[in-house]
Copies of this chain bind each other. A is one copy, B any other.
Amino acid sequence: MDSSRLSQQLVFLAEADQLKRVLRRTSLIGGDRLENTAEHSWHFALMALTLAEHAPVALDLTRVLKIALIHDLVEIDAGDSFVYDTSAMADKAEREEAAAERIFGLLPADQATEYRALWDEFEAQETSEAKFAAAVDRLCGMLPNYKNCGGSWVEHGVSAARVAQRNAPIGAGAPALWEVARGWIDEAVECGWITSE
């Protein structure tokens, strides 16, 4: 065993614990507390595993799961940027870039490179795996809002048009899941939770 290598990995894994402290804008189903990014990442990975058959092409499932597990670690430093907050989104890339450098940099060099490449792959949205992961990530964010009668959409006065625009990547990554998402948005309008425009 290379003990210095293992030590670096354990420092990274202890640091990862901090992701449990990063709060998102969506609540748990039931609405009584905000969700944190660590539990979201688990739900995202479970959702990717369970819905993989709905991807439009055959996927490398292991790579999708790796992306789900590591893609939000940058939020330890950069925080969760609320997707409907234009000013927070403006310097998101810069903040997350610095975070990726520091956090993946805790690992042995080969793993730092691998995790960074997975994060870059997700951000670039070019491979089928990255597109499917993004689709599932968005659907996972929509689920509690749909189940909570509009949840953070209502709280922040977001229209159906903006929800649809924001979540359009679901259509690019998994058309079958986009049908589901469109149905949820239509229902949110019909129920009067959100307005169409």
User: Which chain A residues have a beta carbon within 8 Å of chain B's beta carbons?
Assistant: 1, 6, 9-10, 12-14, 16-21, 28-29, 35-36, 38-39, 41-43, 45-47, 49-51, 54, 61-62, 65-66, 69-70, 107, 111, 143-144, 147, 176, 179-180
Contact = CB atoms under 8 A, between A and B. Distances in A.
Nearest to A115: B50
Contacts of A66: 49
Nearest to A51: B9
A14 B29 contact: yes
A128 B147 CA distance: 39
Given A29-B14, A38-B39, A62-B61, A69 B49 contact: yes
B13 A39 contact: no
Q: What are the 4 A-B residue pairs with the smallest beta carbon separation, nearest first?
A: A42-B42, A38-B39, A1-B176, A17-B29
Given A1-B176, A66-B49, A17 B36 contact: no
Given A9-B50, A38-B39, A49-B69, 4 more contacts: A1-B179, A10-B143, A13-B46, A45-B45
A18 to B, nearest CB: 8
Contacts of A1: 54, 176, 179
Contacts of A20: 28, 35, 39, 43
B176 A13 contact: no
Contacts of A49: 66, 69-70
Nearest to A7: B180
A6 B51 CA distance: 8
Nearest to A28: B20
A167 to B, nearest CB: 15
A141 to B, nearest CB: 12
20 contacts: A1-B179, A6-B54, A6-B180, A13-B46, A13-B47, A13-B50, A13-B51, A14-B143, A14-B147, A17-B43, A17-B143, A19-B39, A20-B28, A20-B43, A36-B39, A39-B39, A41-B42, A45-B45, A46-B70, A49-B69
